[in-house]
Chain A
Amino acid sequence: MRGEASVRKFVLDFFGTILTNHSHTTDSQSSTSESGHSGASAVWANAIHHAIEHAIHFLPAQGPIAVFVHHNTLHAFEDDLFEDAVIKGLGIYHAQPYLPESQYRIEVERARITPEDLAAVIKEDLGDREHEFIFGESTRGQLRRVMLDHVIRAGDDKELQWFIAGTDALRKFRSDVPVTTERGMVDAVRHWTMRDFPAAAKNCPCPIEGFVDDLFVEFNRNQIESWTDSTWGSFTLGLLYRVCRHGAEVAGDSRASQIPSRRHRDIVFAATKYDCDQPVHELLIRFLGSFTDQGYAQWIMPHRDQGIYRCFLRMFMGKSQVTDSWMQGLIPLVREEWSHDDKPIDSIIRSLSALGIDHDSVDEYIQTALLALPGWTGMVWQLESNAAWTPQPLPKGSLLEFLAVRLLLDRSVLGYSLKMHLPEQTCKKLLNSKLSISSVSDAFGFHDRKPIYQSVQRRAMTLFQIAQLMNWSPIRLAGLQVSQWQSLMREVSAFRSLERRRIFHAAYERNYRVQALDAISQNPVPTELPSSTVPLFQLVTCIDDREESLRRHLEEVEPRVETFGAAGFFSVAMFFRAATDAHYIPLCPVVVKPQHFVDEIGQLSQQELQRRQAEARRVLGKASHQFHLSSRSMAAGTLTAIMGSIASLPMVARVLAPRLTSRAKHFASKLVRAPAATNLCIERLPQKEGSDAADAALKQGFTLDEMANIVERLLGDIGLNRFSRLVVILGHGSSSLNNPHESAYNCGACGGGRGGPNARAFALMANDLRVRQLLESRGLALPSTCFFVAGYHNTCDDGIEYLDIDRLPTSHQDDFLFAKAKLDTARALNAQERSRRFELAPLTISPEAALRHVEARSEDLAQARPEYNHATNAVCFVGRRLRTRGLFMDRRCFLTSYDPSQDDASSKVLNRILQAVIPVCSGISLEYYFSTVDNSIYGCGSKLPHNITSLLGVMEGAASDLKTGLSQQMVEIHEPLRILFVIESTKEALLSVMHRNPNIDKLIRNKWVQIAILSPESNNIQRFVDGQFVAYHPSPNVIPTVSRSYDWYRGWRNHLGFAKIINE
């Protein structure tokens, strides 16, 4: 047990920092800004600290990749409405807020978005403003609908010119204009021309007379009486286009866009296409990679203990014979900084002043400077603030030091780029003064840059197309005054692409919401079961969406079974260390701070054997680590390489036959290893003598009271009060190869760990007779015939491992074997249902073959999609399983068990359930949302070129920013939807939960999640819309009925709708 106390202290520190960091405020920098600054520089220092503190919020919050916890990518913006936050994200990260418009139109085509959805969403969005007239009889709602239903061609001027010249857009009506509309408009124009022209044109505010005369020339007025219908059509369109063009001219454009130039780099790039960031980043990536390395490189960076700033200065002080030309300016700069011999903050002040940044723009400048390389910068902050558990965390103030380095590099590259691209005189003048952004942009001749307006032609073209679709005849348009034109143009431009995507997205979400709520409201309201019908056995799994199908299949295989869903740490929050593991890992949600340590140790009779095995493992491990290292070195590498062809045989086998190889390996290791017989030390041990004070604060194991609390709490949460003879508690996790993101596939409620030990600990507690006595005294009597068995479900290969089954009384063996058989059938079916999503598995695959297929997947080095994780998640149901039992939910629903009838008046149980469920599920849902809508910025792009670096994260290819978020292969089948919580409760209860938890309140009111409540007594559903509950009226559609899930999912790869499964 040597060194254990320090390990624990370390772990506790880690959680201490996590919690303090959670509020995202930090006083870390204050330590570096000591007094001693003169007045002016103290003001500067404060401004810089403030700016950094502000910018930290916008950095990616993903820590070292070994522990991956799903979180809202835009967590920093939760104080804003979702719609506003995604637009802010567009401004700050240049990331897409929604799917592309074309994608939504595809969804319209396949009826994933229906006209009904669009109508309802427009109505909800505009409210009373929907029916306001914007021109003639046309309402705003109609205009928006037309712009959603039809693709309005837009583009830059050249594209439009080509479009006009190359197609007959000005001669023929759009093909999607109804014939009646077309005829009506043409007839009206024809009438007007023949009857009222030219008299009517005189008092028109627009020079329509000139337009008509032009057209008369074009179409030969002399033969006007023999004009065909199509000539009249072309005439009408010609007139319409000219009128629209006139309108666009007189209305002007209110919306101007300007190239933002927040940094010098933007100006240089706009003027010369030379990207100052490229050389800076190339160097920074190498430097930071080495500085933050967690133990991959064999040679530690010298001077690392002096902090980023001083380490950098020392490293780049020396002159080298050969450097890139831009670096020639860096070395004198570094030497100068070194000679100042002061704090990084002083260097930042000098840099900012050299770059001509004034007080007002400090915030913005520092924010953009830090966000230029967001992944690495964010990792510096994570290592500084949130990663005491890593081998090499960074000291406080590292981000500030990093900023100092970054600004030095920016300065030297800027100087170089100016020298290279500007005439000598201008450059000299510029370099002698302050290099402010405005002076640099003057030097490149940007001073007279005007805001860019949309061209007249473009706006005219848009209006021209809308007028056809809306049946706005040129005659009526010609009567508009300037102010009327302006308001009409405003209406059109207000519904620009971003707005259309927002509406499309709302419709996309509505469609699924309606399906889900309809399906749930059609499930019969359960009546109380007679107490005699105790289920054959009961299963408690995690709420995870991946367990939905396992539970459903089990219920189909054996209807007399009851299933429950609880957060997968089963209320056992602990630091756990397995017998073969080196470190404690926290197994509980990240928001919980565990107080207890639990060790897994070998059973007494096996300990000597296990000790010897551990020793052997240690020797083998050291040897293979040495092999690993030396294969990269010179002399030893030669030996290993010469042996290489033999060493590679197992790998070749592994690639060609992953499943067989892994089984063979497993078999071989079984021969030399005794069956693992271990015990979990969950019980509090009496204090040993001589243990130091630090140790006393830490708790080994749980007291009986604490165990009783845990058991009482979990059973209360899920409403389990009728006990079968056997209750199976199933934790879950996932194992896969060649997957740097492996931790993301594990149980979210276990903080990215595997939930087996939690299930095991819980079963031990619940089986403990002393605990049961305590529970009985509290009024919760567990029948003595009831026994708990723990298991671990691997969601990747769908294996289930049972733990501690040797402790099962002989009387319960048959019950266990029965349950195991049923679960085996269910997991094979589960594998089959999952396989329908995998194109490499045939659609006709049998359950057994599917099981083999998913087993091979988890052992396949080449498999980029071992499983689809939480992809497609869309709903979270909180309530009794009976309310959703028998519904096919396509593995898209988190299922949390909660029995409102067992809750007290203050909704204590609901409160603690939602405290965990809403942050966790919304975090998963939103991370998937953002990684899907912009996979290259919010997500980490394709997995194929990923390159693990510094044991911290992945880069794309040879060198790039650290990529955060989820990969393309993880989200490719995901539908980005904000998660819909359906909670079986009353509105009073939910409001009181919201009132008690500001974080949850914020998520709900700012629409980061959707909320609906299902009445416990009836099928009434109320949605929470804009701060109040609104009754939901189910549509009359009856969902289809099938006799088993297989009949519904077979032969289909894509998403499936809800279905009712009626076992006969």
Chain B
Amino acid sequence: MVHFLGFIVVTCPIITLAILGLMGLFGKPLDEASVDRLTKINVLLGLSASLTILGVMLWTGSRFESIEFGNFVNLNQEHFHFNIKFVFDRLSIPMTVMSFVLVGVIGSFANVYLHRDAGYQRFFIFYSMFLVGLLFAFLAGTIETLFLGWELVGLSSALLIAYFHERPAPVQNGQRVWAIYRIADASFLMAAIVMHHLSYEGEFTKITGSAAWPDGASSLEGYSALLVGGLLLFAAAGKSGLIPFSGWLPRAMEGPTPSSAVFYGALSIHLGAYLLMRISPLMDASPLLRCMVITLGVSTAIFAAFTSRVQTDVKSSLAYASVCQVGIIVAEIGCGFLYVALIHMIGHACLRSLQLLRAPTLMRDYKTLENAIGGHLSHGSLRFFGWLPQRWESRIYRFALERGYMDSAINEYLVRPFRSLFLFLDRLEQRWLRFLSGEAPKENESNTNGAA
């Protein structure tokens, strides 16, 4: 029963994505009404199936159900399995239900909002790709499955940010977000490999123990727990916009309002926190890891709270407000308040995505508030740091205005060395090639420069 329902939850979005994608590929895109109907049926089926699973599991008292889709790669000699497996437990079911609700609401919103837009079909293809990725990530029972979902979410997010591809800014920002996702992915992949090396398989049970979430105990210990956990923490930081990657979130607001709302404001941004929640038993195994998680969470929250206060456009300020809450959620996870974090995460996702949906009504809302209060609205706190010496206030303000210099730091300390390394290698290779072909070495090579 649960297996069948779980099967529906996973396959429905895949089938929808396949239909939308294939019809587009064969040059016969569906019309708006059919797309609308298809996505609605998809979400409704998925939602009712996952709710039923929840009901059944409550009824039977079961706390852990898994569905195997089999091993796809089996390298027996190296004891390597690559298997797709989905688990339903106290963590994944609430997240799945929330995803269906939010994605469903946004789908119905976007259907009207994007009506007549040239990219309507494209939007809904990415939208269903996102949903598939999200479900894979939330329901993943193995690190490989999680990685698959993680990648799909990243890809569809980047494409949605670059939705208005006729203008340069969305494409540039989409690319930037994609690059940061890739950095996170690299770390994730390393963690997966390390895990395979340590335990020959990617099952989360290795990390979490066989008990149902959140009562697991990790079978990894000491430094191996720290290594795997640290890599995964780095990956989570990239995906959730924690320090030092916070700069990507406001840049993600290039797409149409509904996609910004649900994807970056609410769902994508929590994926990192979700990952930490999944691997929380590792923190019991390594107190150092726990400290790192708490520190990262708290410092992100403080930083984002400052930054959010100086943002003057609705979407950026909501973006940093999201980062702030995610920071707190991460800190909660670090402290071991897993249920609090779960409730916090779900509540925050709902609230923030709907706040973003309403963002274009800001002028009207402010006017209503002004009329109710009977005067111009006061700023929240007029002089936030009025008590500090002016020089300091100005400094902190600039720090917040420049968004903690994080983008600059990434440009300077990550992009530049990376680029120069590769340009250097490129030059070496060319020299080597010329040497092989017997040409004279050329003087004064012109170095090409593009915008970083």
Contacts and interface: CB of A to CB of B under 8 A. Distances in A.
B313 A950 contact: yes
Interface string B23-67: 000000000000000000000000000000000000000000000
A582 interface: yes
A681 B427 CA distance: 82
Given A299-B379, A958-B253, A958-B315, A651 B116 contact: no
Interface in A633-652: 633-634, 637-638, 640-648, 651-652
A901 B395 CA distance: 72
Given A274-B449, A625-B369, A944 B113 contact: yes
A66 B116 contact: no
A315 interface: yes
Interface stretch (A129-137, A290-298, A510-518): A290-298
Interface in A270-288: 272-275, 278, 286-287
Given A324-B411, A641-B325, A945-B254, A318 B379 contact: no
A948 B409 contact: no
Interface stretch (A43-51, A300-308, A347-355, A843-851): A300-308
Contacts of B163: 945
A737 B361 contact: yes
B152 interface: no
Contacts of A583: 370
Nearest to B298: A634
Contacts of A1032: none
Interface of A: 65-66, 272-275, 278, 286-287, 289-290, 293, 295-303, 314-316, 318, 320-325, 327, 391, 420-421, 578, 580-583, 614, 617-618, 620-622, 624-625, 628-629, 631-634, 637-638, 640-648, 651-652, 655-656, 737-740, 742, 839-840, 860-865, 942-951, 955-960, 972
Interface string B8-36: 00000000000000000000000000000
Residue picked from A314, A942, A944, most chain B C-beta under 10 Å: A944
Given A618-B372, A632-B321, A957 B361 contact: no
A296 B450 contact: no
B363 A644 contact: no
A952 to B, nearest CB: 9
Interface size band for B: 35 or more
Given A656-B105, A839-B116, A946-B360, 18 more contacts: A296-B362, A297-B311, A298-B381, A301-B397, A315-B398, A316-B398, A322-B409, A582-B374, A621-B373, A632-B309, A632-B321, A634-B328, A651-B354, A862-B258, A944-B117, A945-B255, A951-B366, A959-B250
B354 A621 contact: no
B358 to A, nearest CB: 7
Contacts, number: 304
Contact of B169 (A647, A737, A946, A956): A956
Contacts of B235: none
Interface in B374-409: 374-385, 390-391, 393-395, 397-402, 405, 407-409
Contact of A956 (B110, B167, B320, B371): B167
Contacts of A642: 340, 343-344, 347-348
Interface string B305-317: 1001111111111
Contacts of A634: 301-302, 305, 324, 328
Top 8 closest A-B pairs, CB basis?
A621-B372, A644-B351, A644-B347, A298-B380, A949-B313, A957-B254, A641-B348, A632-B321
A622 B378 CA distance: 10
Contact of A862 (B109, B302, B374): B109
19 contacts: A290-B401, A296-B312, A299-B379, A302-B390, A620-B372, A624-B369, A631-B355, A633-B305, A633-B380, A641-B348, A644-B347, A738-B357, A863-B113, A944-B114, A947-B316, A949-B313, A958-B173, A958-B251, A959-B250
A85 B449 CA distance: 40
A279 to B, nearest CB: 9
Contacts of B413: 322
B394 A738 contact: no
A958 B171 CA distance: 12
Contacts of A614: 374
Contacts of B317: 296-297, 632
B96 interface: no
Contact of B384 (A298, A629, A957, A960): A298
A951 B363 contact: yes
A945 B164 contact: yes
B442 interface: no
A331 B44 CA distance: 57
Contacts of B114: 944
B241 interface: no
B313 A421 contact: no
Contact of B350 (A327, A644, A956): A644
B347 A297 contact: no
A957 B253 contact: yes
A5 to B, nearest CB: 15
A960 B164 CA distance: 14
A420 B449 contact: yes
Contacts of B232: none
Nearest to B450: A273
B301 A629 contact: no
